[in-house]
Amino acid sequence: QVQLQESGPGLVKPSETLFITCTISGGSIGTYYWSWIRQPAGKGLEWIGRFYAGGSTSYNPSLKSRVTMSADKSKNQFFLKMSSVTAADTAVYYCAREAGAGQQQLLYWGQGTLATVSS
């Protein structure tokens, strides 16, 4: 069974860089598309971007200038890096995997990790 687990620093200072890891178990990172989604407390879901370990990425234009997604295939992990964070970036960050074989629906989700931006 595929399982995703996010991990991050918890607290980040304004203007610094947020780095979150998604560790994958029960499947290989190499043959699927992976997404990051975030959710501020009490609010809706925002798609951050989509990543394929072969090198293809697609980012939400509203965040594109500050976001980078990458992966370490040897560790079966993929990463979200978000620079110049502000309080507006405080949210639960989820990683998710698509169903595969050209199907984009997000079938597997991690439990999420809370990132708080505060001095």
Residues near another protein (CB under 8 A) are: 35, 37, 44-47, 50, 60-61, 94, 96, 99, 103-107, 109-112
Nearer to another protein, 35 or 90 (CB): 35
Least CB distance to another protein at residue 80 (A): 15
What is the secondary structure of the chain as a DSSP string?
Answer: --EEEEE--SEE-TTS-EEEEEEEESS-GGGSEEEEEEE-TTS--EEEEEEETTS-EEE-TTTGGGEEEEEEGGGTEEEEEE-S--GGG-EEEEEEEEEETTEEEEEEE---EEEEE--
Nearer to another protein, 16 or 47 (CB): 47
Nearer to another protein, 68 or 106 (CB): 106
